[in-house]
Amino acid sequence: MKNLNKTKEDLIPCGVAMSGFVGNKPKTIAILPLKITVYDQTRVKAFYVVESNVDYNILLGGDGQKCQP
């Protein structure tokens, strides 16, 4: 979060259950709202923070679109 100029105070507590990438069901720790700019559009998006041991740093998705950087 340091690289994003965010602190623990920016996190919104949350306990939503999710489907994990390896068949587990991790609970979210928090939501981190971030401003995302793509071309000339800037929007605030919610990123769920979870404890996980996977190879992904972030998964983006919405409206049927998926991106796994």
Virtual CA dihedral for 25, 47, 30, 7, nearest 10 degrees? 140
Q: What's this model's pTM, rounded to 2 decimal places?
A: 0.63
pLDDT digit string, tens, across residues 7-21: 989 999 987 777 766
CB 28 within 8 A of CB 48: yes
pLDDT digit string, tens, across residues 15-63: 777 776 667 777 788 889 989 898 899 999 888 887 777 666 665 555 4
Distance CA 11, CA 21 (A): 23
pLDDT over 80 at 64, yes or no: no
Spans of all domains in the chain: 2-67
